[in-house]
């Protein structure tokens, strides 16, 4: 387990190599921030054998390893349906005795969707059923340096249309505070901040790009924080503190910054009229006082 405290703790696992596997072959009460919180578990994704098989036209939300990472595959742009065209999740041996977690998603109906590994809880529930995965106590970020590290293998990337497709491989981190300026639907009844920290992005929709914007549900901060090569493992080290500061400045959230806390983490492929797959391993978060 990775614990975040005043001095910080680093948890890393050994990296290896893996061959690419074809998608068709494999794979209500507000929480009060705590200064030291049990947080992101299973940082090396040695989660034990698991395979959903091919999921078709379904909304899937599971906690296959109990109080650890969860899996989620759904669309989120239409309130009356959350089924996504295709998905698969599995854990496999990288060939050196270390395990990695693979996920594949396909969206072909023109709705926004994702496949993701997830921990935490920003909303107090999910679209596909109750939350069974690890829900850590919110982790305060004020006065802390926060580094995020991950190993990623980018596999399939496919745009399914000539002008209406989008795909993004990213880590999404969700923050909120009782001092956020607008009411909203999160667990604190505020409008939260989400940061899309992308490792690869492709789209052919007119004018599409990574950008900062506000909608009815959240403040959205988007940035490319590295480029994951196709067909090989790559390690990334992201200064999360730098992006928190940039997001606070972009949306004028300075009054909320002293009480801002991390509530939810996702490793995802976001899709619209696209298909994509990746593997992840060696995930960690490191905190230390400024």
Q: What is the DSSP string of the chain?
A: --EE-SS---------------TTT---PPPPP-SSEE----TT----SEE---EEEE-EEE-TTSSS-EEEEEE-S-TT---EEEEEEEEEE-SSS-EEEEEEEEE-SS--EEEEEEEE-SSSS-SSS---S--PPPEE-TTEEEEEEEEEEEEEEEE-SSSS-EEEEEEEEEEE-TT-SSB-SSTTSB--EEEEEEEEEEE-STT-----EE-SS-EEEEEE---PPBTSEEEEEEEHHHHHHHHHHHHT-TTTGGG-EEEEEEEEEEEESEEEEEEEEEEEEEEEE-
- What predicted TM-score, i.e. pTM, was given to this entire model? 0.86
Mean pLDDT in consecutive groups of 10 residues from the start of the chain, 290 residues: 28 32 42 47 88 97 94 93 97 89 97 96 91 92 91 96 98 97 97 98 96 97 97 95 97 98 96 98 86
Task: Say what the pLDDT of residue 21 is.
Answer: 43
Task: Say what the pLDDT of residue 20 is.
Answer: 37
Q: Are the C-beta atoms of 105 and 276 separated by less than 8 Å?
A: yes
Task: Say what the pLDDT of residue 39 is.
Answer: 60
Task: Say what the pLDDT of residue 15 is.
Answer: 33
Which CATH architecture describes the domain 3-289?
Sandwich (2.60)
Distances (CA, A) of 130 to 127, 238, 268: 8, 31, 20
What ranges do the domains of the chain cover? 3-289
Task: Say what the pLDDT of residue 31 is.
Answer: 52
With CA atoms as reference, report the closest residue to 281 among 185, 193, 187, 154: 154
Q: Is the dihedral of CA 251, 254, 256, 262 positive or negative?
A: positive
């Amino acid at each position: 387990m990775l614990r975040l405290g005043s001095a910080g703790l680093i948890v890393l696992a050994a990296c290896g190599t893996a061959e690419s596997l074809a998608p068709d072959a494999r794979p209500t009460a507000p929480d009060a921030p705590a200064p030291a919180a049990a947080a992101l578990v299973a940082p090396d994704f040695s989660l034990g054998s698991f395979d959903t098989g091919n999921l078709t036209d379904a909304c899937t939300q599971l906690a296959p390893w109990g109080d650890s990472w969860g899996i989620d595959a759904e669309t989120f742009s239409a309130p009356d349906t959350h089924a996504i065209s295709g998905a698969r999740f599995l854990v496999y041996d990288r060939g050196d005795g270390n395990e990695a977690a693979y996920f594949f998603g396909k969206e072909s109906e023109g709705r926004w969707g994702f496949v993701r590994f997830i921990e935490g809880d920003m909303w107090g529930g999910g679209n596909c059923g109750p939350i069974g995965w690890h829900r850590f106590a919110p982790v305060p970020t004020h006065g802390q340096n926060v580094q995020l590290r991950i190993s990623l293998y980018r596999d399939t990337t496919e745009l399914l249309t000539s002008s209406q497709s989008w795909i993004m491989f990213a880590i999404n981190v969700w923050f909120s505070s009782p001092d956020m300026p607008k009411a909203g639907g999160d667990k604190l009844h505020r409008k939260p901040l989400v940061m899309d920290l992308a490792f690869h992005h492709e789209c052919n929709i007119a004018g599409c790009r990574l950008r900062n914007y506000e909608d009815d549900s959240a403040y959205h901060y988007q940035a490319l924080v590295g480029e994951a090569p196709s067909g090989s493992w790559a390690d990334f080290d992201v200064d999360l503190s730098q992006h928190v500061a940039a997001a606070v400045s972009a949306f004028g959230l300075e009054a909320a910054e002293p009480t801002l806390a991390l509530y939810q983490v996702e490793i995802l492929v976001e899709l619209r009229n696209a298909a994509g797959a990746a593997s992840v391993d060696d995930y960690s978060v490191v905190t230390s006082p400024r």
